[in-house]
A = this chain, B = another copy of it.
Amino acid sequence: EWIIPESHPRRESLLEREKLVEGMCDGVVVPQGLIAHGRGECFDYLLGETSIPPALEAERAAAAMFHLAKHPVISVNGNVAVLAAREVVELSEATGALIEVNLFYRTRERAKAIADLLYAHGARQVLGVDDATARIPGLDSMRGLVSPNGIYKADYVLLGIEDGDRTEALVRIGKTVAAIDLNPLSRTSLAASIPIVDHIKRALTNIKRYYESMSREEASRVINSFNPRKVIADTLLYIRNRLETLARQLMYDYR
């Protein structure tokens, strides 16, 4: 419908917005997902729209956990599916992790629409549509429903753009949780075993790359030296420095 010039400096970002609006029309994304995306855009701008060093460190740890976990699951919601269906499927293929649809605003139709999008990108199996019959303790009604063969049984869950309550609930029952979230101060980032402050697409691509070039021995070493608090702290310091630079530039321009 809209035409974005090839040369537009924010073309990628604008195309992503269009995909989310389309996703809303197709019933894959809820309108709240647009707001979440707007917030993500702002944090990504603060990062410089790049995978910063602490994000790469976390992505390496997330990759290592795929080597060490017995039953890894990639949890997918509407925003993740719209922004990175291909990357989810590719990471699942590379690591052997299961894919499960997991929704904050769950309806059978949305779960199905998201699964269909994943199947269209080559997924062989998607849990969480008609088999979300087990329950995560500490979460209300529909919000706690998961597949008994997927997240319920998982020792490791990789999730993205997720609500804090649910991330905390998963950690509380002993799962190792890697969480991709552009907000370093969100409850999801602060609760996660492995907080990945990066764009979902960049993060999934990097995790796959790290996974493929890592031995099991290296994976153990990476996990043993990983410190989620340090990753968050380094991210905040990075943003602080960048904000100071941006502020100086802008104040200078306006003088």
Residues of chain A touching chain B, judged by Cβ–Cβ distance below 8 Å, are 2, 5, 7-10, 14, 17-18, 20-21, 24, 30-32, 34-43, 45-46, 105, 140, 143, 164-165, 183, 185-187, 190, 227, 229-230, 232-234, 236-237, 239-240, 243-244, 246-248, 250-251, 253-254
Q: Which residue of B lies closest to A241 (CB)?
A: B240
| A185→B240 contact, CB < 8 A | no
Q: Min CB distance, A4 to chain B, in Å?
A: 9
Chain B residue contacts of A20, Cβ below 8 A: 31, 35
Copies in the assembly, this chain: 2
Contacts of A240 in B (CB 8 A): 240, 243-244, 247
Q: Identify the interface centre among A165, A185, A232, A237: most chain B CB within 10 Å of its CB.
A: A185
Complex CA–CA separation, A233 to B244 (angstroms): 8
A17 to B105, CA, bound (A): 13
> B8 to A35, Cβ gap below 8 A?
no
Given contacts A165-B9, A190-B250, A243-B239, contact A24 B17 (CB under 8 A): no
The answer to whether A5 touches B42 (Cβ under 8 A) is no
A237 & B244 in contact (Cβ 8 Å cutoff): yes
- On chain B, the residues within 8 Å of A248 by CB distance are 233
Residues of B within 8 A of A239 (CB): 243
